[in-house]
Amino acid sequence: MKRKFDLYAMTWRLPIIFWQLLFFVGPLLFMVAISFFVVKNYRMTEAFEMVNWQKMLSRGYFWDSYWYTIFIAGISTTVAMLLAFPASFALAFRASDNLRRWAIFLLIIPFFTSYLVRTFSWYVILAESGVVNAMLGQIGLGPFKMLNTHFGTVIGYLTLTLPLVVILQTVTMANVDKTLIEAARNLGCKPLATIWRVVLPLSKTGLIVAALFCFILSFGDFVAPFYLGGSQEPTLPILILDTTKSGQQWPRAAVVAIMMMATLFTIAFAAIALAYRKGGAR
């Protein structure tokens, strides 16, 4: 009786690292193991063979998908960062503290509803007979095909990331010491140039982290390319789905997943290193 109680208490006192091992590192190692399994007669069997790695990494369609995913996530990140910047800048420097609080609160609200539902709502707006084309039709334009295009994918990604990017950028830039902007002006810096000379260097870390988040979310997203992008150019998450469906190829799907994770690790590592690199001399 006493022993059991101790064990219970111990379990809760175990450091967070244990849970990390159990629920993150464990499954990850298991996935690595699976990538060496083989599938025979639609059944996965334990093995240690390089065949999945050889097959996947030598296929043109894998690399097409790989570079396409990086490309479209990169484009989406760039667009999100650029679209968000003017709004964040205004919220950080022009808005009152009160307005900024409300804006951040409102920007969190989209996360209350399912991303999937929000994505579906774009159907109504972007469809060939949807709201946008109807309006363009009024002035004699269109209809344009927007669903099942790269554009659709990017719109989907932005649905997921844009509010988050605005929040992160705003919070970062709101912390910029306004005296430094005035000091630059006092030394002859034109108003717009202060963005480049002062605001960006001071908010570099936060902006890179915002971009990194945006990229990670887009890179791993399945919903946008599937429902709005039409998946004719499959991104890696869609490739994973297709691979598991076709002939129960879980091991090959694991290869794709590991490649994705390795890519994200590399990019995240480089981004954080860049974010915290010291400007100027030591």
Partner 1 sequence: MTEPLVTFRNVKKHFGEFVAVREMDLDIHAGEFLAIMGSSGCGKTTTLRMLAGLEAPTSGEIRIGGDLMNEVKPHERETPLVWQSLALFPFLSARENVEFGLKMRGVGKEERKRRALEWLDRMEIGEFAERNITTLSGGQKQRVALARSLVMEPKMLLLDEPLSALDANLVIRMQAVLTRLQKELGITFVYVTHSQSEAFAMADRVVIMSQGEIAQVGSPKDIYRAPANRFVAEFVGRNNILSGTVASLDGETVTISTPSGAFVATAPDTARSVGADATFVVSADLVSVSREEPTGENRVLCTLISEEFVGSMVTLFLESADGHEFKVQMQERDLIELDLHNDDQIWLSWAVQNAHVLDHE
> Which tokens belong to 236?
């890696």
CB of 156 to partner 1, least distance (A): 36
**Which span (61-69, 132-140, 166-174, 272-280) binds partner 1, by CB under 8 A?**
272-280
Residue 236 contacts residue 70 (beta carbons within 8 Å): no
129 vs 179 by CB, closer to partner 1: 179
Nearest to 165 by CA among 264, 72, 76, 269: 76
> Which tokens belong to 166?
């605005």
Does 278 engage in binding with partner 1 (CB under 8 A)? Answer: yes
Does 281 engage in binding with partner 1 (CB under 8 A)? Answer: yes
Does 280 engage in binding with partner 1 (CB under 8 A)? Answer: yes
CA dihedral 272→175→167→149, nearest 10 degrees, is -50
CB of 277 to partner 1, least distance (A): 10
180 vs 272 by CB, closer to partner 1: 180
Instruction: Quote the CA–CA distance of 58 and 41 in Å, as a whole number.
Output: 23
In this structure, how many other beta carbons lie within 10 angstroms of the beta carbon of residue 202?
Answer: 18
For the segment 156-195, give every residue that binds partner 1 (CB under 8 A): 177, 179-180, 182-191, 193
Binder of partner 1 out of 26, 27, 137, 201 (CB under 8 A): 201
**Which span (21-29, 64-72, 200-208, 231-239) binds partner 1, by CB under 8 A?**
200-208
Instruction: Quote the CA–CA distance of 220 and 73 in Å, as a whole number.
Output: 9
Residue 209 contacts residue 203 (beta carbons within 8 Å): no
Residue 53 contacts residue 270 (beta carbons within 8 Å): no
118 vs 185 by CB, closer to partner 1: 185
CB of 94 to partner 1, least distance (A): 16
The mark string for 222-261 relative to partner 1 (x by CB under 8 A, - otherwise) is ----------------------------------------
Does 90 engage in binding with partner 1 (CB under 8 A)? Answer: no
CB of 134 to partner 1, least distance (A): 47
Alpha-helix runs per DSSP H in the chain: 2-13, 16-20, 26-34, 51-57, 60-89, 97-108, 115-126, 131-138, 150-174, 178-186, 193-194, 200-219, 223, 236-245, 250-275
Count of residues in contact with partner 1, rule CB under 8 A? 24
Contacts with partner 1 by CB under 8 A lie at 177, 179-180, 182-191, 193, 197-198, 201-202, 204, 278-282
